[in-house]
Amino acid sequence: MSGGDIKTLAAALASGETTSVALTEQALAAIGVHGGALNAFITVDGERALAEARAADERIARGEAGPLTGIPMAHKDLFCTEGVKTTAASRMLDDFVPPYDATVVARLRAAGAVMVGKTNLDEFAMGSSNETSYYGPVKNPWDASCVPGGSSGGSAAAVAARLVPYATGTDTGGSIRQPAALSGITGLKPTYGRVSRYGIVAFASSLDQAGMLCASAEDAAHVLGAIAGFDEHDSTAVDEPVPDYAALLGEDIRGRRVGIPREFLSEGVMPGVRSAFSAAADELGALGCTVEETSLPSLALSVPTYYVVAPAEASSNLARYDGVRFGHRAENPADLADLYERSRGEGFGAEVKRRILIGTFVLSHGYYDAYYLRAQQVRQLIADDFRKAFETYDFLIGPTTPTAAFAIGEKTADPVQMYLNDIFTIGVNMAGLPACSVPMGFDGMLPVGLQIIGRAFDEAGILRLAHHYQQATDWHTRVPEGFAS
Amino acid sequence: MSGDWETVIGLEIHAQLKTRSKIFSGASTTFGAEPNTNACLVDLGYPGMLPVLNREAVHLAVRFGLAIGAEVADRSVFARKNYFYPDLPKGYQISQYELPIVKQGTLTIVLDDGSEKVIGVTRAHLEEDAGKSLHENFDDSTGVDLNRAGVPLLEIVSEPDMRSAQEAVAYMKAIHSLVRYIDICDGNMQEGSLRCDANVSVRRRGAKEFGTRAELKNLNSFRFVEKAIEFEVERQIDVIESGGTVVQETRLYDPDRHETRSMRAKEEANDYRYFPDPDLLPVVVGTDLIEAVRKELPELPTARRERFMEEHGLSAYDAGVLTAEREMADYYEAVVQSLGGEPKLAANWVMGELAAALNRDSLAIGDSKIDAGSLAGLLRRIGDDTISGKIAKDVFEAMWAGEGDADTVIEKRGLKQITDTGAIAAIVDEVIEKNPAQLADYRGGKDKLFGYFVGQVMKATQGKANPAEVNRLLKQKLVGD
């Protein structure tokens, strides 16, 4: 797709140089060529997309277009879409067609976005490699033998291959930032409460947050402007004004204080990642920021804490999939217990079952205090660390992940190794903070990401810093070979 | 045998709060709709659906807290109670667990002998109701109706302060009266708006420790509460006296067989895995809200009862009956106000003729065919001697049947009391003249025949003669001076 960023596309649409129908046809064609090999999509609905594109063209002709009107995009298949199958990449919801739109979907629809399809993900967003999907793993466009990261792996691969300019994602422990890093694109996880969770299939309610994967910080600003804001359907959505993120990108960043927590450069960080990060930090210094080392002493506790809190909430959130009202139902159940056991046994994959078991265990009588309650206390410690750091620094940075993309199948046998891939992203979710990942170079042939963490509700600041970085570098413009840019 | 034993009872009462929509969704709470027509996607637990707390439910809970002099928590927290059941769509019930909205209140109950007892209310918390399984008309399957799912409940938990089935009933009646008084629950027990579980145990009189308790379910009438507890107490005493031990369990009361029986085997005991619901923020109740709710609080039954005793000179019993229902008390007060006094006359008529007529026609006082002003109009005609109390009962029935107000009925039926002494004297003379034998007997000492003469005079006047005047004239003339 020519000049696949939102600003260029919107300008081309406004000038009549192209039409939404043409862009949508191009996107559908690109998905037709590459979608199958990448396995990035679970559902593609061309007919519906073209209908939306025609409506968008009419809207553009009437002069009522916004920055996203008529531009093709995709939703992670965790967002409920009215009339379009929403699977959460689980056999459990293989035939589930919601009669409602998630708030994010509704807001993008209202903005004139054209949804071409639903992207692949780890089952119920539980995974870091997109390998737990009922619909099979997604391939990394930079190297088809590698994972794209997860859980928003389909969205990441689709954007990395420029099949669509942007796609939605959700981030519970890194599920936007980690695949953005491993796929060489930009991903933003907003502050918890910034974007409504209504209509998103829940994984861990106190951590889940919707965001986007796209080509640049500037594109992220346009998408965030459309989806952020209070929603009466979500009690945890915060009633906080939504700034014009795109308009604020150009403001000065000189003199901003940037901290590098030394925990982000621990032993497990690969040399290639380390050197790319070092160059990125220098670049921020060259842009006029003061960059210095700091510490988040409790950060090491974030992975074990997360693997108590998230499964606990998931075990409860996934109890509704019981074969009674919707979703997979076992055939000819002998009795109620049989209906539950077989419907859930057949409907859920291994990783989901593992987390339900962990979650059920940590909430059980006699274990609650030792696990769940303790985890909540540690979570507070982690949040306090961030709070203290932000008394001194405007931003905290580090590599998004300790390594570049790993091979498909490399970590599936060892869940703990898999979980450790999120070691730098999980703390942000525990503290509810906003953070983005932007491309900062390569380790060999594979892209690596820079994570920028900000104060709560300072998405504007994060995007501004990322935008200035992207003005000074071209990592975000790199597209894997074989995919049109 | 029971002389050695003391019964200990605590009640958990679920009151359905009078909100138009459910506690966490916009679906209607109307009773009696077709199955699953009052259940929206939130109630059905669809993927991605989130609960949003109904503010009105919080207000009603606060009102209850203030009415029982309890502490209203400035911060309370909803938790998830996890278990699988077809009528529980999400696989968990949202309920307040460690931090309820209402803590430590009291309620005064009046026992049959007129004595009072203060019962502690440990807590009251907000929660959502579950749906209902339908076992009929589905062949070998079970149907599920989720209209009730998400209906707001206030679970009111008492201290184990009651010592007999009668005290338990008195407490439940007091709660029933109070929730309707403060208009937070319609109290309709047939429709399940007020439901009760009883925790019952027995111990040797004088023992310090409580015995092992059984939880009795399905006590949806005052009578069932009494019967079930009485049965259960006997059962537990039998178990212990025959060398057994009471098992802590849930038991279901079967009103048809008048027995309780074990509901759940112990090995199926649920571990509810409570934890704070991350979809909901803590409920924060500020002093502003508390003061606003306090202002809308009506005079409570206990205060009103005492006022009726002091200001109106009513007996404790009458004041208790009249204040049991707010509408009854309002009606009574309206009669007294309209009459400008005569509280005892008003009380007698409201508790007597009016209550009987309402009961006969199965009407609530709000649907009474005679309003308070009209009843006062009738009582005024007794007070000014236009009609006698006996005639007034006929007038009441005519009014009830829709013949118009008291004066219209009296006029139309010619029931105006004869107070004209001359007219009454003429009839008295006539009666005496027609009954020479009775007259002779009376004068011969058969005093009881006086009543006979009164009856004859009243009969001749169709009851319209002023009774006092009839008595006076008969006494005078029968003597024969």
| Residue A175 bears catalytic tag | yes
Chain B residues closer than 8 Å to A231 by CB: none
User: Token pair for residue A248?
Assistant: 């604020």
Task: For residue A25, give how far its alpha carbon lies from the nearest alpha carbon of chain B (Å).
Answer: 31
Residue of A419, A426, A377 whose CA lies nearest to A263 = A426
Helix boundaries (H) for B271-354: 287-295, 301-312, 316-323, 326-339, 343-349
Write the residue in A198, A325, A364 that is nearest to B89 by C-beta.
A325
Average pLDDT in chain A:
96
pLDDT of residue B3: 61
pLDDT of residue B264: 66
pLDDT of residue B267: 46
pLDDT of residue A35: 83
Is the CB of B48 less than 8 angstroms away from the CB of A319? Answer: no
d(CA A349, CA A90): 7
| Residue A76 bears catalytic tag | yes
User: Token pair for residue B283?
Assistant: 């409920």
> Using an 8 Å Cβ cutoff, are B190 and B4 in contact?
no
| pLDDT tens digits along A13-49 | 999 999 999 999 999 999 999 888 999 999 999 999 9
User: Token pair for residue B161?
Assistant: 């302060």
Comparison of pLDDT for A163 and B409, the residue scoring more = A163
User: What are the Cα distances from residue B323, in Å, to A245, B317, B366?
Assistant: 63, 10, 15
CATH 3.90.1300.10 fits A6-252+463-477, yes or no: yes
User: What are the Cα distances from residue B134, in Å, to B45, B131, B142, B252?
Assistant: 19, 10, 6, 18
d(CA B339, CA B360): 26
Restricting to B residues 38-67, those with a Cβ less than 8 Å away from any Cβ of A are 41, 44-53
Q: What is the SS3 assignment for B27?
A: coil
Chain A residues closer than 8 Å to B44 by CB: 325
d(CA B464, CA B389): 10
Helix boundaries (H) for B137-214: 165-181
- Nearest-Å Rg of the Cα atoms of chain B is 30
User: Token pair for residue A354?
Assistant: 């593992």
Asked whether residue A346 carries a pLDDT value surpassing 70, the answer given is yes
Write the residue in B46, B89, B279 that is nearest to A205 by C-beta.
B279
d(CA A206, CA B277): 9
Write the residue in A204, A336, A360 that is nearest to B273 by C-beta.
A360
Which residue out of A79, A85, A322 would a mutagenesis test of the B interface target, given it has the greatest number of B Cβ atoms within 10 Å? A322
Asked whether residue A287 carries a pLDDT value surpassing 70, the answer given is yes
pLDDT tier, A1 (very low <50, low <70, confident <90, very high otherwise): very low
pLDDT of residue A267: 82
Is the CB of A320 less than 8 angstroms away from the CB of B91? Answer: yes
DSSP code, position A199: T
Which amino acid would we find at residue B168?
A
pLDDT of residue B361: 92
pLDDT of residue A3: 47
Q: What is the SS3 assignment for B162?
A: strand
Least confident window among A203-217, A341-355, A465-479, B139-153:
B139-153
Tell me the percentage of chain A whose pLDDT exceeds 90: 94
Q: Which domains does chain B have, with CATH numbers?
A: 2-292 (no CATH), 299-413 (no CATH), 421-479 (1.10.10.410)
Q: What is the mean pLDDT of residues A352-370?
A: 95
In tens digits, chain B (481 residues) has pLDDT values of 456 899 999 999 999 999 999 999 999 999 989 999 999 999 999 999 999 999 999 999 999 999 999 999 999 999 999 999 999 999 999 999 999 999 999 999 988 887 889 999 999 999 999 999 888 878 778 899 999 999 999 999 999 999 999 999 999 999 999 999 999 999 999 999 999 999 999 999 989 999 999 999 878 899 999 999 999 999 999 999 999 999 998 999 988 888 888 886 544 567 999 999 999 999 999 999 999 999 999 999 888 999 999 999 999 889 988 998 888 999 999 999 999 988 999 999 999 999 999 999 999 998 999 999 999 999 998 888 788 888 899 999 999 999 989 888 888 887 777 777 788 888 888 888 888 888 888 888 888 888 888 888 888 888 888 888 888 888 888 876 5
Is the CB of B47 less than 8 angstroms away from the CB of A202? Answer: yes
CA B64, distance to chain mean position in Å, is 16
Q: Catalytic residue, from A20, A128, A133, A151: name it.
A: A151
Q: What is the SS3 assignment for A80?
A: coil
pTM across the whole model: 0.89
> Using an 8 Å Cβ cutoff, are A410 and A137 in contact?
no
Backbone angle region of B134, left / alpha / beta, with phi > 0 → left and psi within -120 to 50 → alpha: beta
Is the CB of B278 less than 8 angstroms away from the CB of A88? Answer: no
pLDDT of residue A85: 98
Burial of A413 (0-12, 13-18, 19+ CB in 10 A): exposed
Asked whether residue A370 carries a pLDDT value surpassing 70, the answer given is yes
User: What are the Cα distances from residue A133, in Å, to A101, B117, B339?
Assistant: 22, 64, 80
Query: Is B134 in the A-facing interface, judged by CB distances under 8 Å?
Result: no
Chain B residues closer than 8 Å to A124 by CB: none
User: What are the Cα distances from residue B10, in Å, to A467, B116, B125, B184, B185?
Assistant: 65, 17, 16, 22, 21
Is the CB of B48 less than 8 angstroms away from the CB of A202? Answer: yes
d(CA A18, CA A71): 11
Q: Measured in Å, how far apart are chain A's first and last C-alpha atoms?
A: 6
Interface of A with B (CB under 8 A): 79-80, 86, 88, 93, 96, 98-100, 102, 197-202, 204-206, 232-236, 312-313, 315-316, 318-320, 322, 324-326, 336, 340, 360, 363-365, 368, 372
| pLDDT tens digits along A72-116 | 999 999 999 999 999 999 999 999 999 999 999 999 999 999 999
Which residue out of A82, A236, A316 would a mutagenesis test of the B interface target, given it has the greatest number of B Cβ atoms within 10 Å? A316
Is the CB of A198 less than 8 angstroms away from the CB of B48? Answer: yes
Q: What is the mean pLDDT of residues A389-410?
A: 97
Could you count the other beta carbons within 10 Å of the beta carbon of residue B309?
16
Residue of B144, B125, B98, B103 whose CA lies nearest to B14 = B125
Asked whether residue A2 carries a pLDDT value surpassing 50, the answer given is no
Q: Measured in Å, how far apart are chain B's first and last C-alpha atoms?
A: 70
Asked whether residue A347 carries a pLDDT value surpassing 80, the answer given is yes
Which residue out of B21, B25, B279, B280 would a mutagenesis test of the A interface target, given it has the greatest number of A Cβ atoms within 10 Å? B279
